Amino acid sequence: MHIAGAVRVVVSAAACGVLLTTLTSCGDSQDTKKRGAGRSAAAEKGKQKEQTTGLKRIPDVGDRLQSQIPAESRQVVAVYGAGKDSADSTVVLYTKSGSTWDKVAGWKAHNGKKGWASNHHEDDKRSPVGVFTLSDAGGVLADPGALLPYTRSASIQAPHYWAKSHWHDFDYVIAIDYNRVKGTPPNDPTRPQGQSKGGSIWLHMDHGSGTSACVSVSKPAMEKLLRTLDPKQHPVVVMGDRASLSA
């Protein structure tokens, strides 16, 4: 979670369904053709929707961001924001097998309360759009079998002056390498690009609504990510609202 006013003292930061309407008719050939065409279109859409293996690229990500995924990356966490100003999103984990991508899992998620920003800054309540590496993890709870370097520390815990619903946000976190130093605990306060660009952007546990700038998912999702993301596979996150992603 983005931590407004971070200081040098380390503190806790942070299908579509296809509706098929049965048409009644006198059974002329034109109506039959229309129904057949409708079924064919629906079947084709269904086939596209169901394809989860052998993908040539990360779905719904345009050339601009697709080209920013490092050639050596074989794990991608894609965050599909519902809209530019929406806090709702979907997280999908993809892994590369040979030259193609397979969908591993997907979950409902939340992002910044005010949506997304292509030029994120401190306390704008928007998550940054882009492609970022994933290098470090941690949390209040014991290491669940993370493959990324994991730092367990009570200093990561959400402060208890926050609403109680947020107290477990940082039980598990994965640092998104936005304006941070790789190889440090997630709550290291160093901001290489300066304080105004914000920082402490994490994947963390969900409290049911938007965040300050992070991306949040359920505890089972965090456990899956922690046990799957492998530094040897050079994992990255590709994140943004759908319009920005597809541009």
The 3 state secondary structure assigned to 105-160 is: EEEEEECECCCEECCCCCCCCCEECEEEEEEEEEECCCCCCCCCCEEECHHHCCCC
H or E element, residue 101? strand 100-110
User: CA-CA distance, 65 to 60, in Å (whole number)?
Assistant: 10
Rg of the chain (C-alpha set):
20
Mean pLDDT in the chain?
Answer: 86
Query: Can you give the pTM of this predicted structure?
Result: 0.81
pLDDT for position 58: 98
Residue 128: the pLDDT is 98
In this predicted model, what pLDDT tens digit does every residue of 200-246 receive, in sequence order?
999 999 999 999 999 999 999 999 999 999 999 999 999 999 999 99
In this structure, what are the phi and psi dihedrals at residue 225, rounded to the nearest 5 degrees?
-65, -45
The C-alpha atoms of residue 176 and residue 225 are separated, in whole angstroms, by 13
44: exposed, middle or buried (C-beta count within 10 Å: 0-12, 13-18, 19+)? exposed
Determine the average pLDDT of the residues in 35-44: 53
